[in-house]
Structure 1
Amino acid sequence: MVKRKLKSQPTEATNSKSKKQKKDIILEPVIKSDAPVERQTKWTNKQRSLIFSSRGISYRTRHLMLDLRTLMPHSKAEPKMDRKDTLFVINEVCEMKNCNKCLYFEGKKKQDVYLWASNIPKGPSAKFLVENIHTMSELKLTGNCLRGSRPLLSFDKNFDSEPHWQLLKELFIQIFGTPNHHPKSQPFTDHIFTFSIEDNRIWFRNYQILEEDGSLAEIGPRFVLNPIRVFAGSFGGATLYQNPHYISPND
């Protein structure tokens, strides 16, 4: 009979040594000057925007609200609020949702749409009349962007002309700007939000940045904000600015 030699099995000591050798990482003694700089990848800017509406809004306003939620990965949703509730209840709703910014669509007479943009909980806040609403599905434009990508924000130079325009510019930056390294965002920038002032109104457009030549292709939605009043507090308080050119749609 031929006896086969048994292979010697490695001991626990040798296994532990091999594991230690795999874990050890040898660092370079000299760091090259052209090496990429390690950047902070932690999510520090934790802005969250709550986007919801009151009962009685039209289908077009509802589609606009859904478009904004799609384009803003840092936004949160909430069921429609009853008309009987006061606007100050929104501060409590935002606190429960852990949101510090809010876009609230308010419908009246099933035809007039108002938008509240507020900084929770101390303000300021602004009220607008929303005009010329066109949603993404309605326009059928050629532009397209990646879902969850971070937008660039472009503002007209007229936003630096008056104090109330400067305040609204900063408010829009904090509401519409997607924080860097947000968990639901993509590390790409392929579209741009433009805010321009014309005829004492704010015109909103959303464009795709084309890779070929850097030109723009409109995606949608598009709407016009007619400012009514700016308040010092959240959904109320002292009046900081009142638009003298505003005319109520009921007049």
Structure 2
Amino acid sequence: MGKKRKHSEAEAVAAPNKDDTAPERPKRSLLGWKDRNEVTGEVKDYGSPIFRNKEKVLVTCSRRINYRYRHLMLNVVSLLPHCKKENKVESKEAKGSTLNELVELKNCSSCLFFECRKQKDLYLWMAKCPNGPSVKFLVSAVHTMEELKLTGNQLKGSRPILTFSANFEKDAHWKLLKEMLFQIFGTPKEHRKSKPFHDRVFVFSVVDDHIWFRNYQISVPHNESDKLPRGGLEKMTLVEVGPRFCLNPIKIFGGSFGGPILYENPFYVSPNQIRALEKRKKAGKYAKKIKAKTRRKMHEIENPLEPDEFADMWKEE
């Protein structure tokens, strides 16, 4: 039999140098390599926990909404995979508390409320619940996907690329609106209902103090073998797929669906005032006709025609 090693020699063999050992391999998941801190749930060195975007949006509408505006709401729901749809809510003064309760029950952090008045005017409430802020818009120039028939071939649930015009950096209220639009329309990364692809672009542009929304599909030419040709990325184009609408900001509130007014649009004119002015114009046209008739009668009375000497020539005796 061989000789036994001494106890000191066995300890020297069992304890290798720490510098010679390879670093521990991180655990692998379906989405790639995971950080050790993420797996164990520990806090990183700089003392802040890992940020995970858990934004959820509640989308609902008021009762007696027009079919066209309801289709627009359903189009918005199809564009946002991180939203939750709710039944209709009564549009009254106490709608703010009701909507805040619904948002809390649905475990959401934002709300899009489509409010229809007189089956003609559509208002959009965009709010961060429960502490605010919130914005009230007047929606105009509405064109739904069914109306435009711009079907496209985009993937449902894909993450969009948000683009904003340079006008959003001018004033403070535009910066606030940009941040709210970015949080509500931006799909969270690794959301369970979203697809890890970018094949669409949401465009928000400010023209004439209005926010214009457009939805484009990123179209790339393919060969028959479904492979990109050489230089195919340079031939990338944008194809509009809808919907499209225009947002006119009315007021920005400090709270959720109410509170102190942070901004009020001085150029806003309500649709009721516009319709009243059109009626006044039509009433003015009718009044002009009546005045012209009275002037004609007064002129005939003041200037009578001379009697015709041949008027009774052909009368039978």
Normalising to structure 1: TM-score of the pair? 0.83
Q: Give 3-state SS (helix, strand or coil) of 1:87's partner.
A: helix
Q: Counterparts in 2 of 1:133-152, with a 5 A limit?
A: 133-141=142-150, 143-152=152-161
Give the aligned residue type for 1:112: D
CA distance in 1, matches of 2:148, 2:220: 22
1:203 Cα offset (Å): 0.1
Cα-to-partner distance string for 1:101-142 (whole Å, 9 max, x where unaligned)? 110000000000000000011000000000011111110125
Q: Which residue of 1 aligns with 2:237?
A: 215
Give the aligned residue type for 1:174: Q
* Number of residues of Structure 1 aligned to a counterpart in Structure 2: 221
1:38 aligns with 2:33: yes
Q: Which residue of 1 aligns with 2:55?
A: 47
1:38 Cα offset (Å): 3.1
CA distance in 1, matches of 2:153, 2:203: 16
Give the aligned residue type for 2:106: K
Normalising to structure 2: TM-score of the pair? 0.66
Q: Which residue of 2 aligns with 1:243?
A: 265
| Structure 1: 4+ residue segments shifted above 4 A | 28-31, 39-43
Higher relative contact order (CA 8 A, sep 6+): 1
CA distance in 1, matches of 2:23, 2:107: 45
**CA contact 1:94–1:120 (8 Å) conserved in 2:** yes
Give the counterpart of 2:255 among 233, 244, 250.
233
Give the aligned residue type for 2:85: A
Q: Give 3-state SS (helix, strand or coil) of 2:95's partner.
A: coil
Give the aligned residue type for 1:99: C
Instruction: Provide the alpha-carbon RMSD of the alignment.
Output: 2.2
1:88 Cα offset (Å): 2.4
**CA contact 2:59–2:83 (8 Å) conserved in 1:** yes
**CA contact 2:145–2:151 (8 Å) conserved in 1:** no
CA distance in 2, matches of 1:62, 1:53: 8
1:174 Cα offset (Å): 0.6
* Structure 1: segments with no counterpart, 5+ residues: 1-27, 32-36
**CA contact 1:191–1:206 (8 Å) conserved in 2:** yes
Cα-to-partner distance string for 1:18-75 (whole Å, 9 max, x where unaligned)? xxxxxxxxxx9589xxxxx836799921100001100011111100110111110000
**CA contact 1:115–1:129 (8 Å) conserved in 2:** yes
1:143 Cα offset (Å): 2.9
Give the aligned residue type for 1:198: V
Give the counterpart of 1:60 among 47, 63, 68.
68
Give the aligned residue type for 1:222: R
Cα-to-partner distance string for 1:1-31 (whole Å, 9 max, x where unaligned)? xxxxxxxxxxxxxxxxxxxxxxxxxxx9589
* Structure 2: segments with no counterpart, 5+ residues: 1-20, 25-31, 40-50, 222-234, 274-317
79-88 or 240-249, larger mean C-alpha shift = 79-88
**CA contact 1:48–1:74 (8 Å) conserved in 2:** yes
Q: Give 3-state SS (helix, strand or coil) of 1:68's partner.
A: helix
CA distance in 1, matches of 2:103, 2:133: 15
Q: Which residue of 1 aligns with 2:82?
A: 74
Give the counterpart of 1:176 among 158, 176, 185.
185
**CA contact 2:213–2:245 (8 Å) conserved in 1:** yes
Q: Which residue of 2 aligns with 1:23?
A: none
CA distance in 1, matches of 2:220, 2:22: 40
Q: Which has the larger radius of gyration?
A: 2
More strand per residue? 1
**CA contact 1:143–1:207 (8 Å) conserved in 2:** no
Q: Which residue of 2 aligns with 1:7?
A: none
Q: Which residue of 2 aligns with 1:127?
A: 136
**CA contact 1:142–1:217 (8 Å) conserved in 2:** no
**CA contact 1:46–1:179 (8 Å) conserved in 2:** yes
CA distance in 1, matches of 2:23, 2:95: 64
CA distance in 2, matches of 1:51, 1:61: 13
CA distance in 1, matches of 2:138, 2:66: 14
